[in-house]
Amino acid sequence: MMAPLERLTSVESLRSWTDQIPFHYEYTAGVAGERFLRGFKDGRILASACEECGKRYVPPKMYCTDCFVEIRKYEEVGPAATVAALAESYVDFEGKALARPRTFAFVTFKGATGGLIHYASGKGLGVGSAVAPRFREKGKRTGTVLDIEEFVVR
- Interacting residues with Zn ion (CB under 5 A): 50, 52-53, 55, 64, 66-67
Q: Which residues contact 148 (CB under 8 A, 6 or more apart)?
A: 40, 118, 133, 134, 135, 136
Nearer to Zn ion, 46 or 105 (CB): 46
CB of 45 to Zn ion, least distance (A): 20
Q: Which residues contact 125 (CB under 8 A, 6 or more apart)?
A: 83, 86, 103, 105, 131, 153
Nearer to Zn ion, 55 or 118 (CB): 55
Nearer to Zn ion, 13 or 65 (CB): 65
CB of 57 to Zn ion, least distance (A): 9
Give the span between the Cα atoms of 102 and 96, in whole angstroms.
Answer: 12
CB of 35 to Zn ion, least distance (A): 18
